[in-house]
Amino acid sequence: MGKKRVITKSGEDTGKINEKASSIKAKISSRKNLEIGRIYIRASYNNTSVSATDLKGGLIAWSSAGSLGFKGPKKATPFAASKVVSALIEKTKKIGLKTIEVYVKGIGGGRETAIRSLANHGLDIILIKDITPMPHNGPRPPKPRRV
């Protein structure tokens, strides 16, 4: 297995790469100094995932227990939820997020712990809303059995 060779065709390809890099930098710079945002917590029986967005819904950063290395039933524990939130806060420090709205979905074990660790990291929480889907009337019940 020898060394791999990289062949460049012309100067046009490098120009396209520079344009893409500048557009990515522009997107990141437009998100700098974001003071208010939304945090979505999804706590299921199997995993806990947390994502941060701006007020329009554009994703800024995300983290989950599985991405941090937790495996199996340990992903849905309150300890894993607190670690997920601290990893998300590390990602959003550069942006300057200070005030948040929290939306919680699911019935897993990490719901309350995730909200508490958000408050412990010094973020101002102005709204906590539960957006767990609830069935209104459920499916049609079965017919009575004829014997």
pLDDT given at position 10: 63
pLDDT given at position 138: 87
Residue 75, in any domain of the structure? yes
* pLDDT single digits (tens) 87-107: 999 999 989 999 999 999 999
pLDDT given at position 107: 94
CATH of the domain at 85: 3.30.420.80
Residues of the chain with pLDDT under 70: 1-2, 8-31
Number of domains the chain is built from: 1
pLDDT given at position 44: 95
Residue 142, in any domain of the structure? no
Residue 28, in any domain of the structure? no
The parent domain of residue 77 ranges over 34-130
What pTM was estimated for this model as a whole?
Answer: 0.74
pLDDT given at position 13: 53
The DSSP code sequence of 37-106 is EEEEEEE-SS-EEEEEE-TT--EEEEEETTTTT--GGGGGSHHHHHHHHHHHHHHHTTTT--EEEEEEES
